[in-house]
Amino acid sequence: MSDNSKIICITGGKGGTGKTLVAVNLAIMFKNEGKNVLLIDGDVDNPNTYLLLGRKLENNKPVYFFKPKIIEEFCYKCGLCAENCATHALLHVKDAYPIPILTVCSGCKLCYKICPQKAIEEDFKIIGWTYYSTDNNLSLMVGELVPSEARSAAIIENLLERLDDIINKFDIIILDTAPGAHCDVELLINKSDLIIPVTEPTKFGKLDLFRIIELIKLLEKDYRVIINRSSLLGFRELFLKELDENKINILGDIPLDDDIVLSYCQGMPLMDEKNDFNRENEGYKSFQNIFRNLLEWLNNKEVSIEN
């Protein structure tokens, strides 16, 4: 497999379309092929991959974030720090020590850098965690934001740094993103070689799909779409037609399927060989089909890069 296309990003815009379901099962199918796989959960607001895999979170590492610490005996109460703070994270009243308001602090450290008295020290708080575990050729790296912290992108950056350290150990890397099209999602798409947006054949699905595709195009990435719940209401034909008109390539679709719900709720991935789901079921076959198409896409990529 080419090193030029080994990071695959699963995203989608809309929430609840099946991103994590696809990410987990693709990772399992690569593992079944004997590949050494790393699955990264980049939905740091709500990481769910480990639930679907039936795993526990292990080997946590804190993600630290800057906070200013005012050393009162050095401080002249000049107010320069508060004056220059772009997010107004330092409150300064005349003749009083500045008070940090951590919820709005961007972590730019300007206050620390410009204080003429060196009365501001670098201090840190934990805003999240990253986890890493290896099991049977399928490694899992998860980012998790501490609830009520806002800087989720800092966790993503931390994940990507951790990835850079170990990237050579793996044949393939699957990234699972949060819903939406914000900075967290953008960072992960930007890091990836191939993008798979997962959508559903509804009006909401279409609107959000078109928006995420706009972002993918902005970042100049190659993408193919998976349509989940494709048997919904027979709206599929119309949906497919619209995708076709917009020249959107489809990697495959996943019908509504009881086994999928069952595997999802039990933390037993559908495509894991040991879980013994019926291989003739539509859900199972659809994943096999998607995987075949994905391998073909990866091969084509490799050929076009070599040429």
List of residues contacting other proteins (CB under 8 A): 13-17, 20, 43-46, 48, 51-52, 66, 84, 86-87, 106-110, 113-114, 145, 147-153, 178-184, 186, 190, 202-204, 207-208, 211, 214-215, 218, 232-233, 235, 258, 261-262, 264-267
Residue among 101 and 218 whose Cβ is closer to other proteins: 218
Residue among 75 and 268 whose Cβ is closer to other proteins: 268
Side chain identity at residue 276, one-letter code: D
Minimum gap (Å) between residue 33 Cβ and other proteins: 27
Minimum gap (Å) between residue 303 Cβ and other proteins: 31
Minimum gap (Å) between residue 207 Cβ and other proteins: 6
Please, what's the b/e burial string for 73-105 (b: 16 or more CB within 10 A of its CB; e: otherwise)?
Answer: eebeeeebbbeebeeebbebeeeeebebeeeeb
Residue among 218 and 303 whose Cβ is closer to other proteins: 218
- Phi/psi of residue 185, each to 5°? -65, -40
Minimum gap (Å) between residue 171 Cβ and other proteins: 27
* 165/188 Cα distance (integer angstroms): 16
Residue among 277 and 297 whose Cβ is closer to other proteins: 277
Q: Rounded to whole angstroms, what are the CA distances from 183 to 40, 65, 150, 176, 187?
A: 17, 17, 12, 14, 6
Please, what's the b/e burial string for 149-181 (b: 16 or more CB within 10 A of its CB; e: otherwise)?
Answer: bebbbbbbbbbbebbeeeeeebbbbbbbbbbbb
What size, in residues, is the chain? 307
Residue among 60 and 106 whose Cβ is closer to other proteins: 106
Minimum gap (Å) between residue 10 Cβ and other proteins: 14
Residue among 46 and 299 whose Cβ is closer to other proteins: 46
Closest C-alpha among 172, 162, 213, 208 to residue 192: 172
Residue among 71 and 233 whose Cβ is closer to other proteins: 233
Judging by beta carbons within 10 Å of its beta carbon (0-12, 13-18, 19+), is residue 36 exposed, middle or buried? middle
Residue among 146 and 167 whose Cβ is closer to other proteins: 146
What tokens were used for 289? 């089909």
Minimum gap (Å) between residue 31 Cβ and other proteins: 21
Minimum gap (Å) between residue 29 Cβ and other proteins: 21
Closest C-alpha among 44, 56, 24 to residue 138: 24
Closest C-alpha among 167, 174, 219 to residue 198: 174
Under 8 Å between Cβ of 208 and 225:
no
Minimum gap (Å) between residue 218 Cβ and other proteins: 6
